[in-house]
Chain A
Amino acid sequence: MLEHKINDIKKQVQSDVLEIKNGAELFELEKKYLGRKSEFTNILKNLKDLSPEERKKVGELANRTKREIEKIIATKKQELDGAVDLEKERIDVTLPGARRGVGHLNPISIVRNEIEDIFTSMGFEIADGPEVETEFYNFDALNIPADHPARDMQDTFFLKDDKLAMRSQTSAMQARFMQKHKPPFRIIAPGKVFRNEATDATHEHTFYQFEALVVGENTNVGNLKHIAEVFFSEFFRTDVKVRLRPSYFPFTEPSFEFDITCTMCGGVGCKGCRGGGWLELGGAGMVNQNVFTAAGYPRNKYQGFAWGFGFERLAMMKYKIDEVRLFHGGDLRFVKQF
């Protein structure tokens, strides 16, 4: 009889608890079934009136059931603790987010980082030189003596005093580096260079180059091709071939104009490469022995290659930018896109 009653109470609790919506109701439920005046408490109080066997049997059940009810209530309590009316709290998730405002690198920096990372992974050291350079390092040490017509090949910004110039090429750092290091070495030198040239959509008087300089005892034109192909394939994430055409720079012999297969069409010809399949990137060559001797190396002991390519060209190709003056234009509408 009593056992049935106890089991009924448990069942009642199990069904009642489903209807509970908040803490107050749960409190009422707990009071109702386990409170001092509850039926259950009454049963427990009256256990003493039973026979010893009965008392043992029913007592055990009652205590077990009490623990079970307590557990049901505790579980429900936990459930109710974090509960809110989710529907009431519905929001318009398409409203704009509260932006923290992250900044942006100038694309020249992005390209520069990529170049530095690729070359670092190929064992190249990153070197550097001054931007205000002496005529010696900018010209003489590069086999461009005073009054040489090759000084006209780059329109240089000269300073009024001290035989100084804004460096017209990163190659100005070659002799500086070689005076302090012995081959073999492989370096790149990214940096700012200056040319006194009229500006337009594809010409800037201030731009960035990265010099590569690899010197050893047997460095050859094939090595130049290889390093260049590995680098550009990695940079553009596509298979790039290089092409060398004859050119002239006083600081290299032989000298090359350096082209790569068009990264848009892969060399078949498209609008981007004006149908030719090749993109012109800059100058390269085998280091002139006069540059080695100017840096204090013995003549014909070493061989090396060098190139100087512009960052802007690469960034323009990569990001399809059609106006070079944007890089130094200081316009946030440009920078914020990268």
Chain B
Amino acid sequence: MKYSFNWLKELSGTKNSPEKVVEFLTMRAMEVEGVEKIGGIPDGVVVGKILEIKKHPNADKLQITKIDVGANNYLPIVCGAWNINVGDMVPVALAGTKLPNNMEIKAAEIRGEKSHGMLCAEDELGLGKDHGGILILSKNAKVGEKVSKYLGSSDTVIEIKVLPDRAHDALSHVGVAREITALENKKFDYDFDGLKLPGKKSKVLSVKIEDKKLCPRYIGAVMTDVKIQSSPLWMQERLKACGIKAINNVVDATNYVMLELGSPLHAFDADKLKVKSEKLNIVVRRAKNKEKLTLLDDSQIELNNSDLLITNGATPLALAGIMGGKDSGISDTTKTIVIEAANFNAVNIRRTRTRLNIKTESSDRFEKDLDPNLAEKAMTRIIEILEHTADAKLEGIVDVYPNKIKPWKINLDLNYVNNLLGENVPTKEIKKILAALGISATIQPYKAVCVISTFRVDIKTPEELIEEIGRVWGYEKIKPQALIEPVEPAKINEQVFFERKVKNILVGLGFDEMYNYSFYSRRDTEICGLNDVKHYELANPMNPEQELVRASLVPNILKDVRQNLKYFQSFDIFEIGRVYYPNNNKVEEKRMLVMTTVLEKDKSTETFFHLKGASEDLLEHLGINDANFNLDIKCPSVAHSGRTAGIRINNENIGIIAEINPTVLAKYKIKNRVAICEIDLEKLLAETPKTKTYQSIGKFPTVTRDISMIVPEGIAYAQIKNLVQKTGGDLIHDVQLFDYFEAKKSLAIRISLSAQDRTLASGEVDEVMRKIVLKLEKELRVEVRK
């Protein structure tokens, strides 16, 4: 909310500058979001006396004046207004002055006559809307003095971010002024808390509250002989400073009191409260389902049974606490008005205004739970104001307030204050601080019995009192203190450190880390064949591109690929993140790794093996040497069906490695081939040995033998390798592929053989090799070249 410093100053009596007050508030009370100086007549506008008025020789509508601006300066000024007379004191904008409307005054020739300045109208000085003629100043004004000495005060607008805990009382000038006096260790001059309604009962108004839970209090006041006109300039200035447009004296008064005290008010045209008789009726009731109302802003809303209406018993007049109806507002001819000062249930106001998506100054305050006693203060104030600004007369008041809210008590343990803050605040100080905030504290041994004024709706617990004490006392006085609990070694979060290890290995392997959003679009699920996976949907997405909560890391990393191909020809990237989907009414949240490889277009055939190698390196470094890349999985449609393998460790399927299906790539407009490897990190951690075990380095020599062969269609390398290992048993130290031709599928392997306890005799090796060749030929129909 925007606050006028002049207003705050008047209420608090502060002698400090706006800057100092802002500093106080920031450090001890609430966050100031902005400070802006406004208004004020520029220094270049001075008092001038009209010495002479002549007709302009070349223009019928203009006159030439001679103005005394003091210090023997007599300026010729061309003027188009006719309300001036010789001897008048007028505001003169000297050449070089910039007026509030941004007009810059220059010495000029107007139709051939010199003009050294400008005589100003009210609007040109930013004082009002009047452009009827030059503003005539008092005869007592002194020639040559700045006009700002006589007119148009400047102000500083302070914008404060009032958080929900203080919205009950501090969305008002009185609330913030109270803070200022407390922080300056002073007392409030004017007794706003003592404002009591005039005792006059209305003879014509009846108020009925049908739902007392939704409307704990309703005060109606009938005012007659109202003269609708503009508000006084000072009131308009204050409203303007707070960002509220002046309309007329009645509407302005409701806004003024709201800004002053924080209580929204509403004014009805009394005629609209009549139903078939001269009696004025107010009935506060729940709306009927589908009941309709046209609001002040011309919008038509449809209500339901949980919304609260102000009616005249027959027709709805206003949406309670949110906005008035179009038909019940006051007009220029209104003579009798009914002012409403009420209290409404905060939760209900919030529900209605959220559902209808309406936000007003009124709903903003009522939804933060106001003190019902505030309505009385506000009503007292507006009656007082309207008697002055609209010549209105109070006919009488009706106040329905069944359950009176009274101040409440909190016992505050004084040791707790110091124990929580870690700072010894003297008891005397505690009492003083609380008193300044409207909380009276009676000190007893070790405790203070605190009586909370009803406007501090937020203070319900000792901790809330401690906060008040701490902030006013000054948080900066609290000294840093080491924890007294003994330090124990921190338990290691295995998953976190495992993921970090995986990241470090991948970085070592040349992979760059991506962080992607957890959302993607419906189109992404269609392209990537994820339509069958149940997704969580955002109720309020930023845009359709981010409508679904990701159940896979693949779509977003493919978009990373597309983006980076603009600048790089080949790269390896990865992301570690979570995917989420519903599973039996529970949230399944998985930690996943996705690795992606893109190579230059002419190396596209190597893409898959490049990534496979990296994934094998990763697993090997983690201590997993027996990962099984298999064809036992159902190939997802995002993958290339001829280039996909499942990854299995100890019979647990932990992931998949594949080239992306070229049709998917085409839809993302990716021209290179892309390989992707997706691994479930919780499963991977479970299969990762906690520690590595040393394998003794063989003392006996290793013998190598090569076999080259032609392999029939449909036989996988893994089958050959498995067969060699199975047949050779413990003697097989290693099997390596060293030559491979895709055409005709010919390949060559090098087998290393050794034993732990002896040097292998060549006969022994020959025998094993003979068996291997035999098996290859027999079981896999491999043609071994001899």
Contacts and interface: CB of A to CB of B under 8 A. Distances in A.
Contacts of B166: 248
A257 interface: yes
A120 B567 CA distance: 39
A187 to B, nearest CB: 9
Interface residues of A, number: 83
Interface of A: 100-106, 108-109, 113, 116, 119-120, 122-128, 130-132, 147-150, 152-153, 157-162, 164, 166, 184, 186, 192, 194, 196, 199, 205-206, 214, 216, 218-223, 225-227, 229, 242-248, 250, 253-257, 286, 288-289, 300, 303, 327-328, 330-333, 335-336
Contacts of A286: 420, 463
29 contacts: A105-B513, A116-B500, A123-B487, A124-B490, A132-B580, A149-B350, A158-B539, A161-B537, A166-B518, A166-B549, A216-B484, A218-B419, A221-B421, A222-B423, A225-B479, A226-B482, A243-B476, A245-B27, A245-B475, A246-B28, A247-B31, A254-B466, A254-B471, A257-B31, A286-B420, A289-B463, A303-B419, A303-B420, A330-B560
Contact of B587 (A113, A119, A130, A227): A130
A79 B155 CA distance: 94
A248 B536 contact: no
B418 to A, nearest CB: 9
A220 B476 CA distance: 14
A330 B514 contact: yes
A327 B31 CA distance: 29
Given A128-B493, A149-B368, A247-B163, A160 B515 contact: no
Most buried by A among B27, B346, B490, B582: B490
Given A123-B489, A159-B537, A103 B563 contact: no
A328 B542 CA distance: 15
A131 B163 contact: no
A101 B538 contact: no
A223 B549 contact: no
Contacts, number: 226
B548 to A, nearest CB: 10
Most buried by A among B368, B466, B573, B587: B587
Interface in B571-601: 571-574, 577-578, 580, 582, 585, 587, 589
B461 interface: yes
B164 A153 contact: yes
A219 B506 CA distance: 41
Contacts of A147: 347, 350-351
A252 B198 CA distance: 42
B503 interface: yes
B542 A196 contact: yes
A222 B418 CA distance: 11
Contacts of A184: 485
B419 to A, nearest CB: 6
Given A132-B536, A158-B540, A255-B467, A126 B475 contact: no
B488 interface: yes
Nearest to A336: B512
A161 B470 contact: no
B34 to A, nearest CB: 13
Contacts of A223: 422, 481-483
B367 interface: yes
Given A103-B511, A221-B423, A248-B166, A254 B470 contact: yes
Nearest to B487: A123
A128 B461 CA distance: 30
A220 B422 contact: yes
Contacts of B571: 332
A321 B503 CA distance: 23
Interface in B464-517: 464, 466-467, 470-471, 475-476, 478-485, 487-491, 493, 495-496, 500, 503, 506-517
B420 A221 contact: yes
Nearest to A243: B476
A227 B512 contact: no
B167 interface: yes
A256 B476 CA distance: 12
A139 B35 CA distance: 33
A105 B514 CA distance: 8
Contact of A103 (B484, B491, B572, B587): B572
